[in-house]
Amino acid sequence: MAVAPSTPSVNAVAGPLAAADVDLVLVPWFEDDQPSSLDGLDDAVGGEVSRALESREFQAKSYEQFFAPVSQRIWRARRVGLIGGGPRASAGTDLIRKLAVAGGLAARQRRAARVAFVARGSGSPVELAQAAIEGLTLSEFYGGSYKTTDPAPAPPPAWTIVTLDGTAERSIHEAITRGRVLGECSNLARELANEPGNTLTPREFAARSAAIASEGGIRVEILDERQIDQLGMGLLLGVARGSNEAPRLIVFRHDPPGAPGAPTLGLIGKGITFDTGGISIKPADGMERMKDDMAGGAAVACAMRAIGRLGAPIRVVGVVPATENMPGGRAVKPGDILKSAEGKTVEVINTDAEGRLILGDGLWYARKLGATHLVDVATLTGACVVALGKITSGLFGAPPSWVEQVRRVADRAGDRSWPMPLFDEYRDQLKSEIADFTNTGGRPGGSITAAMFLKEFTGGLPWTHMDIAGTAWADEAKPYMPKGPTGVAVRTLASLAFETFDV
Ligand code: BES
Ligand code: MN
Ligand code: ZN
């Protein structure tokens, strides 16, 4: 990635550690490390590292922490914190990113104002530095913005990334800018997904997304109900009918001067600002979670910002259909037939299968804007959560080489995903007596039939669909991820714009 303006709040220093002028030095520490693994560290803390390792007070198990004050005068730092990383063999960039989140959270709890993180592990210094600042930046997310009684959280520390070998300073600085931007954009997506339905209406979502992306140098256009109608988007309008809030279609364009004619990456995100299920209403239990049903749309908006900021070399278009799914008096009813902008007709069997409807029109519009390669991201099905759980997004699409490229990029970005099948026979489950197809295919393979529905709107272009229903929101706190919105897919989508496409 070519890199534009640098971010002032992050420094980089190439060892020695003694020179880092900070309150706290965080060090990933692996089970097979020796006290002497990091030059001067054990001496700086008066032998506390070797003592803790010998007594097994600290065993370097994953995310275990050990803090000690610096006693040696030639060190400028005041404290050292070891973050356990388990066996070193698994210390790739994904683990370093997570250790940096855990370390960052611990540092903030201790109210450290200046914090250094030693980018060590297996991988190139550039990759490690990027992953480290991504993780530290992710630790800055605060999800309690509506609390009036808690004290405000301490401002995020000034971060310093320490690299221990002599990689060219320039490439480290670029990596740090990249990681910083990707981390910040992930946090912006988390803020959007965390926002409740009563503040983040489709109009507000559109306005905030527009501000987020245009600050990154992206052109944004917001289409209102009338313009959506003129485009013939009967699926988006059909879902919006049940709500008093007007829908919006948010369109992003990254058109760098000198970009090649092809490819154009098309990013499409589900933007349901609240999903009640509509007339096929959801049970009350847990319905509040459906405020994050625009997490895919937020990922697209925030990835576009990163794409602009970091100066991706190719054209990218982003399309986010935004609406509520509500059971109003004019709402779409089971059995109703909607006509998509593409011309295909859909018999709505279940109004709670609304995401695929709005994405159908969104995919069509991305093609109309000239996209040659499509990636959509959506909190689409509970069935995907049943299949893959909470840590892996479902990947669907065609051809396999494009899906595999997206998977590889996602993996490097720290977004776990796994391919799911799309055999033609699944299409039979969407057969309708009266229209071209239905919007649901019954319980078997529910995430697959949802993807089969989307496929109808891809015009045969290379297309990957990411079902993030399980991964967009963390139900349980982990050392590397608090409860709440995760920002999944932002870094994947942004990184894709720097790839040479295999297809
Ligand atoms: N937004 C939901 C999917 C979802 C479920 C996301 C759980 C996150 C957690 C989607 O619109 C939906 O309601 N899907 C239905 C489809 C069904 C009616 C065919 C589902 O998964 O139950
Ligand atoms: Mn739904
Ligand atoms: Zn939904």
Q: Hey, whose CA ends up nearest to atom 14 of ligand 1?
A: 381
Only one residue has tokens 């800018």, namely 177
Assign 9 to helix, strand or coil. coil
- Closest ligand 1 atom to 325 CA: 11
Q: Which of 291, 356, 407, 455 is catalytic?
A: 356
Each residue's pLDDT tens digit, 256-283: 999 999 999 999 999 999 999 999 999 9
Active site residue 356: yes
Q: Among 235, 292, 332, 381, which residue has the most ligand 1 atoms within 8 Å of its CB, making it the best to mutate?
A: 381
**Band of the pLDDT at 167, cuts 50, 70, 90?**
confident
DSSP 77-142: -SEEEEEE-S-GGG-SHHHHHHHHHHHHHHHHHTT-SEEEEE--SSS-HHHHHHHHHHHHHHTT--
Indicate which residue's Cα is closest to atom 8 of ligand 1.
469
pLDDT 10s digits, 421-471: 999 999 999 999 999 999 999 999 999 999 999 999 999 999 999 999 999
Number of the ligand 1 atom closest to the C-alpha atom of 272: 1
Between CA 212 and CA 175 the distance in angstroms is: 22
Ranges 1-10, 101-110, 229-238, 286-295: which has the least confidence: 1-10
Model confidence pLDDT, tens digit, residues 427-439: 999 999 999 999 9
Distance 147 CA to ligand 1 centre (A): 29
313 lines ligand 1 (CB under 6 A): no
Which residue in 51, 78, 219, 282 is the catalytic one? 282
Q: Is 471 in the pocket of ligand 1 (CB under 6 A)?
A: no
Ligand 1 atom at minimum distance from 441 CA: 19
Pairing verdict, β 248-254 and 315-325: antiparallel
Q: For residue 278, report the distance from its CA to the centre of ligand 3, in Å.
A: 10
Question: At 168, is the secondary structure helix, strand, or coil?
Answer: coil
d(CA 263, CA 267): 13
